[in-house]
Structure formats: C-alpha cells, structure tokens
C-alpha cells in the first residue's frame, strides 16, 4: 500500500476542528448624494439620514447641493444627522443655494463652491391658517423657534447687526469668494469659542475635558483635493 493510500485510510482518525469565523469589512465607505430639488418633506432625506446615522469614522459623504430651499421642517432631520454622524460630510455647491438650503452648508465639515454661484440667506417664510387665536399662536411659535435657529446656525457668519437685519426682512447674497472668507472666519471664531469653554470646564473640574469629535468646518477651493 503506498503512502497516499495510507493517508486516505487514516483520514477519519484526524480530528476535524471547526474553522474560526473571518469577516471582511471595508476600511471606509464613500457616499455621494445629490440634493437638487426644493425641500417639501423630510422623507426626501430618509436614505441620506439613515446612512449618516449608521456611518463609521473614516466614512465620507460628498453632497452636491443646488436648491432654492423649501420647508424648514423637511430639512431638520438631515441637519441633526450631519451634526451627529461619525462620518465626515463635505458639501459642494454646484449652483445657487438659498434659504433653508444654506443651513446644510452651516452643518458641513467642509464646503466648496463652483465659480459664479450665489448663496442667499433670509428669514424663514411660512403661512398660517385657522381661527385668529390659532394663527396668532402658530405665528408666535414659528417666529420664536426660527429666530433661535437662525441665531445659532448663522452665528459668526453674519455679524450681529446683519443677523438682526435678516430677521426683520433683509436678504443677504454672497458670491464664492465672500462666502469662503466668511465661512473660514466663522470656523476660527467657533474654534476659539469652544477652546474657551473647554478651558473653563477644565478649570472648574480640575481635570482634562474631552474635546468634541467633529472638526471645525472649513471652506476649500474646488480645485483642492477633498
């Protein structure tokens, strides 16, 4: 009997151990989203929001944006997802962006703009209906909440005087160069503000305080590598 036959005869005597499980996972995922319509309902953003909520560190979202804006409540879930996702979110302005669409720019980790685009910011527009008392309640609530949101979102991008003028009806328009300059100045001021808060918290607690994960936003030239 040759060696091969001996090995085959003894095959049943060799213990068979279960194999260890091996899973393959990509190191990162790159998502591309096109937001190029008016905002009518939050369902428009469901797929993007879900992906952001389940993204990991190292993942990236590249959003191509051109929109006249639309319903504020429609875009709120996306803004929350952008602020909380572990992924990096870059927004590129393909063409003009206005109204609620500019809030997406304010929540991005980085932005870039094509030449000759225009960015327009203004106070929220809305309508109310029903009896007089209900209309008054709705208007008062919407004005209060929208002013709070605008003061938070556009802080350090608009000056205090510009912001108050916007809240009373002024529309502000920015070309690429002015937008980038203001956006990057905003980033510096946000960084200084956060560092001051961290220093105060560390002094009060007499211990190091963990810095926020999200990096401060920046505007980049479209020709740069993203």
59-72 pLDDT tens trace: 999 999 999 999 88
- Over residues 202-224, the pLDDT tens digits come to 778 776 666 665 566 777 765 44
* pLDDT on residue 137: 63
d(CA 68, CA 66) in angstroms, rounded, equals 7
Cβ atoms of 99 and 70 closer than 8 Å: yes
Q: How many structural domains compose the chain? A: 1
Distance of CA 44 to the CA centre of its chain: 16
Cβ atoms of 94 and 36 closer than 8 Å: yes
Q: What is the CA radius of gyration of the chain?
A: 26
- Over residues 71-96, the pLDDT tens digits come to 888 999 999 999 999 999 999 999 99
Indicate whether 225 pLDDT > 50.
Answer: no
Structural domain range at position 157:
28-204
Report yes or no on 209 lying in a domain: no
Indicate whether 97 pLDDT > 90.
Answer: yes
d(CA 162, CA 88) in angstroms, rounded, equals 30
- Over residues 98-110, the pLDDT tens digits come to 999 999 999 999 9
Indicate whether 1 pLDDT > 70.
Answer: no
d(CA 194, CA 4) in angstroms, rounded, equals 73
118 vs 12, which has greater pLDDT?
A: 118
Contacts of 116 (CB under 8 A, 6+ apart): 175, 176
Report yes or no on 225 lying in a domain: no
Report yes or no on 151 lying in a domain: yes
Cβ atoms of 49 and 78 closer than 8 Å: yes
Q: Scan for tokens 């998502």, then name that residue.
A: 31
Contacts of 222 (CB under 8 A, 6+ apart): 92, 112, 113, 114, 115
Report yes or no on 22 lying in a domain: no
CATH number, position 34: 3.90.226.10
Report yes or no on 190 lying in a domain: yes
Report yes or no on 120 lying in a domain: yes
Report yes or no on 115 lying in a domain: yes
The total of other beta-carbon atoms located within 10 Å of residue 84's CB is 11
40 vs 27, which has greater pLDDT?
A: 40
Element (H, E) at 167: helix 160-167
Query: How distant, in Å, are the alpha carbons of 57, 66, 67 from that of 27?
Result: 9, 30, 32
The total of other beta-carbon atoms located within 10 Å of residue 117's CB is 18
Cβ atoms of 28 and 58 closer than 8 Å: yes
Report yes or no on 66 lying in a domain: yes
Quickly state the pLDDT bin for 122 (edges 50, 70, 90). Answer: very high
Model pTM greater than 0.85? Answer: no
* pLDDT on residue 44: 95
- Over residues 123-164, the pLDDT tens digits come to 876 555 556 656 556 555 566 777 888 999 999 999 999 999
């Amino acid at each position: 009997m040759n060696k091969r036959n001996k090995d085959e005869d003894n095959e049943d005597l060799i213990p068979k151990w279960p194999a260890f499980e091996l899973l393959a996972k990509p190191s990162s995922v790159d998502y591309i989203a096109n937001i190029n319509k008016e905002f009518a309902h939050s369902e428009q953003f469901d797929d993007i929001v879900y992906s952001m909520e389940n993204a990991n560190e190292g993942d990236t979202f590249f959003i191509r944006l051109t929109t006249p804006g639309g319903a504020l409540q429609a875009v709120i879930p996306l803004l929350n997802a952008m602020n909380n996702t572990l992924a990096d979110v870059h927004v590129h302005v393909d063409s003009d962006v206005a109204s609620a669409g500019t809030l997406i720019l304010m929540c991005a980790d980085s932005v870039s703009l094509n030449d000759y685009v225009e960015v327009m910011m203004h106070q929220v527009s809305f309508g109310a209906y029903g009896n007089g008392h209900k209309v008054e309640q709705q208007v008062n609530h919407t004005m209060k909440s929208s002013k709070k949101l605008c003061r938070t979102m556009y802080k350090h991008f608009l000056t205090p005087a510009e912001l108050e003028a916007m809240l009373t009806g002024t529309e502000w328009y920015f070309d690429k160069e002015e937008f980038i300059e203001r956006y990057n100045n905003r980033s510096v001021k946000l960084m200084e503000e956060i560092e001051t808060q961290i220093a105060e918290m560390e002094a009060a607690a007499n211990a190091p305080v963990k810095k926020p994960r999200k990096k401060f936003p920046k505007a980049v030239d479209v020709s740069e590598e993203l």
